[in-house]
A and B are shown apart, each in its own frame.
Chain A
């Protein structure tokens, strides 16, 4: 590990020579969109070799988005899932397999594999970059489906802005965003309050579908520019949310309501220092500390057992990345780092036992432009892990510009996701619902043997013998695309993708208790694929109307199910007669929770005076499999699907006075709800926002 590090660094210094680098990123940013996530270094959006989407601050504001899932849910091929909070499904991969970064560092605190996107406020997000396809060659674990990088406002000058929004269900969202500059020091701050009284989709129910909640987010940024080559930056974030959680238990007439509460807290501290030796060599050191604290408590009531579950996760990382501009044709990025992670939970063993894991990693990326039209990028990352096997993650990508308008891209890469603490250490028994237990793979054997010697095990299943050290879940992803650009006013792109996922970790029954209860553990048992294509097009009409649209076609399958179907081992049951018959491939709808068709159409109208704006966005998703109802464990019958739907969101804003803006909007204009499958969709949701830009107001009073 250490040897590797030294080798890489010597490589850097050997390669350094003096030559000018012509790219001035500050000016380019004004002219053309620049992204950083695709290559971990600044690139023009039109030059990247992998499918990349950029969402600008203006789009986020004009869409009336408050939380991260609001804006991601309107993007092509992304679907917001509603289990364990809001997760994002990308290229048909579950939320577990998309890495969420905040200013380049991973957000932690996943529940059931899902990082709840509603914990992230978007009020001070400058832009969001979405990279589709496996990206573990740069980012390591979790980057199977892709990477979403949220980049917050960096202080540039003097600014103070306030927003206040009121919406249905007594939703209040208030933000204050300010930056200040004093010589070489810039500082910025953002605070946000978000609360709602929740709502009920079921009339006359004792508990609400979404219970009242409040959230607070505070963010700070401090930057010191020592000189033009040397810069220190500090990003801070603290977020807290509290959600009421009532549970009603019914026993043939008698109802008991128990009050509960969930509290989640995030802390992120990210100091970084970058130094430019010369035009050809730049290095940056980053430190990252993140803590996640979660508590779910329910008071004890007659019939209902109380609980007080706590989960604490700590993530520490140090990292260096060095960028070497060897020549116009060659660009190198190398880096490495060390991660230490701790988790404690009373669902594992006890809060006092901290489970630890550490990872050391190095990565290398080489960009080569043999001819002007062709860009080739090769990347490789090695992760050495204490708790599971080491992983190599390679990636190759290219872009070929046919001419001014047309270009081709292609990429092939590997992604992986490390087994998480839950899959390794969970120790959970649900006494109420059938007395089932779930044990992490590292503790399962001992727990089952202990139960067996206590005479509580009826039968060991074949899966018990298969319990082994979990391997990381891996994917191989292929993306091939064609892009057409018409100046700055139009673009059309098509991307075809295929992801093959191996070693998928799923729960399987390892034993049965004498009382009939099932015991589950985690095993690398499954292989799956997702494939399809997406098309995106955007056109600007008369310089003030932006029309864009997107479509994704998706097909997925569990490979083991396909094999069983081919072997005639999968059956279905006729709903009317109850008679079984053999299932064919065409009956099989693939992985649950995936829509075959997704589409969106968006209009943004921004007259050149910028005095007002209007937008309308339509997001469509076809039906998706929810739960197996005919006992074969797969989705094949019509009633096993949730109904497809389209949401229409509109918004508009008007500048009353310079610096003072009123915005109003209606989300879900046609009041679509689905109580069972979309509990997080409240129906029609009108809102009004007042925004004040104190800088502009002051300027105006000065000119008077």
Chain B
């Protein structure tokens, strides 16, 4: 078991180093030179084993990400404003409340990523109050994902946009595209082993507005 733990950890680190970010074209919108960015294979505490209760477990550490700089932030900077969101399993934290020192926050917008051009004025940004509540609610069918027990798969709910207030009080919109390695959800018929080994790899796209306004 110890050997296996090591292997998974090494694999995790290796993948951390090779995450990829790509940039889409943003033609046709010259007034706002902001871009939609896709981040792939962001590792979120991959599974190390399964507890006797049947619940999978990892190391318990978050992977921190800066939307502004489009990069993974080392754990050593967890108490700074250098990161905006963090991932651990299906839990997504914001640099807010008791998760971090930043001015972050978030809420879940129901609708399409492309349709959200301006954050509605009456929107209420929530902040983290771990472990009982998070700005982005945790749990199946509460925030960004649904867990399908019969096929043992985690799927992002379509039409859910995470509206993020960053550590420095700027705004971004974000859509989770996939929760599995390489952005490919295993087939429903794949083995549970495959499904567990390949999960906790986030692919998401986002649009960060650096000028501090609420329009994208």
- Report A's interface with B, CB cutoff 8 A: 249-252, 303, 431-434, 458-459, 509, 512, 514, 516, 518, 569-573, 575, 577-582, 627-633, 639, 676
Quick one: which of A431, A516, A577, A631 contacts B146, CB cutoff 8 A? A631
Chain B interface residue count, CB cutoff 8 Å, equals 44
Name the residue in A433, A516, A518, A575 with the highest tally of chain B Cβ atoms < 10 Å from its Cβ. A516
Query: Which of the candidate stretches B77-85, B119-127, B155-163 sits at the interface with the other chain?
Result: B155-163
Name the residue in A509, A631, A676 with the highest tally of chain B Cβ atoms < 10 Å from its Cβ. A631
Residue of A whose beta carbon sits closest to that of B8 = A252
Cβ contact within 8 Å between B142 and A512 = yes
Smallest CB separation, A22 vs chain B (Å): 59
Cβ contact within 8 Å between A571 and B139 = no
Quick one: which of A252, A580, A629 contacts B148, CB cutoff 8 A? A629
Q: How far is the CA of A581 from the CA of B158 in the complex (A)?
A: 7
B159 CB contacts on chain A under 8 angstroms: 569-571, 580, 582, 632
A250 CB contacts on chain B under 8 angstroms: 192-193
**A250-B193, A629-B151 given; A579·B177 CB < 8 A:** yes
Residue of A whose beta carbon sits closest to that of B178 = A578
Quick one: which of A434, A509, A570, A639 contacts B149, CB cutoff 8 A? A434
Query: Which of the candidate stretches B50-58, B68-76, B97-105 sits at the interface with the other chain?
Result: B50-58
Residue B118 at the chain A interface, CB threshold 8 Å: no
Smallest CB separation, A32 vs chain B (Å): 49
Closest 5 CB pairs of A and B: A578-B177, A571-B159, A571-B158, A631-B155, A573-B158
- Report B's interface with A, CB cutoff 8 A: 4, 49-50, 52-55, 110, 112-113, 132-133, 138-142, 145-151, 153, 155-160, 175, 177-178, 183, 185, 187-189, 192-193, 196, 203, 205
Cβ contact within 8 Å between A432 and B148 = no
Cβ contact within 8 Å between B189 and A676 = yes
Q: Can you pick out 30 interface pairs between chain A and chain B where the beta carbons lie within 8 Å of each other? A: A249-B54, A250-B193, A251-B49, A252-B49, A252-B193, A252-B196, A303-B52, A433-B149, A434-B140, A458-B132, A459-B133, A512-B139, A512-B142, A516-B138, A572-B158, A575-B185, A578-B183, A578-B203, A580-B113, A580-B159, A580-B175, A581-B112, A581-B158, A582-B112, A627-B151, A629-B151, A629-B188, A631-B145, A631-B157, A632-B158
Q: How far is the CA of A570 from the CA of B155 in the complex (A)?
A: 15
Q: How far is the CA of A346 from the CA of B23 in the complex (A)?
A: 58
**A579-B175, A639-B188 given; A630·B142 CB < 8 A:** no
Q: How far is the CA of A382 from the CA of B175 in the complex (A)?
A: 54
| New A-B pairs, 16, CB < 8 Å, besides A509-B141, A579-B113, A631-B145 | A252-B193, A433-B149, A518-B140, A569-B110, A571-B159, A578-B156, A578-B183, A579-B205, A580-B112, A580-B158, A580-B175, A628-B148, A629-B148, A631-B156, A632-B159, A639-B188
Cβ contact within 8 Å between B158 and A631 = yes
